[in-house]
Amino acid sequence: MSGVQDYEGFYAIHNHMPGGDHALRVGGTVVFSTGGWSAALRAHESDGPTGINPFILYLELVLEPPGESTNVPQALTPVPLEEFKLEQPTLEYREVQFIIVGSDDEAPDRLQVEHPE
């Protein structure tokens, strides 16, 4: 089942500013074609290497459709994601790649990580 209309305002920032917490933060908004959907970011659990480039952070974008008996509004519905925060990452990630869970929607584009210093 698909329900994503658009992805808006996605960002990935690894804060290197003096006095900052040096965390990597990822967030954005998923716009669904109807109401009743939920969305969340979580770390990707893998049984092995996720790719050949260790500088890509893989996150799961979990999309949950409304229940079959749920009456939902037939209107575009933006759902802001709770920000994913990786405290003091051990790698200097350059990109974030999303893996969709729970839906057959296309994933958002890969993000370049911003590194403000």
117 within domain boundaries: no
Parallel, antiparallel or unpaired: strands 95-101 and 111-112: antiparallel
Number of folded domains that form the chain? 1
pLDDT of residue 62: 97
Share of the chain above pLDDT 70, in %: 94
pTM comes to: 0.90
54 within domain boundaries: yes
Q: How many residues does the chain have?
A: 117
Residue 63 structural domain: 4-112
Average pLDDT, the chain: 91
pLDDT tens readout for residues 26-80: 999 999 999 999 999 999 987 555 567 889 999 999 999 998 877 888 899 999 9
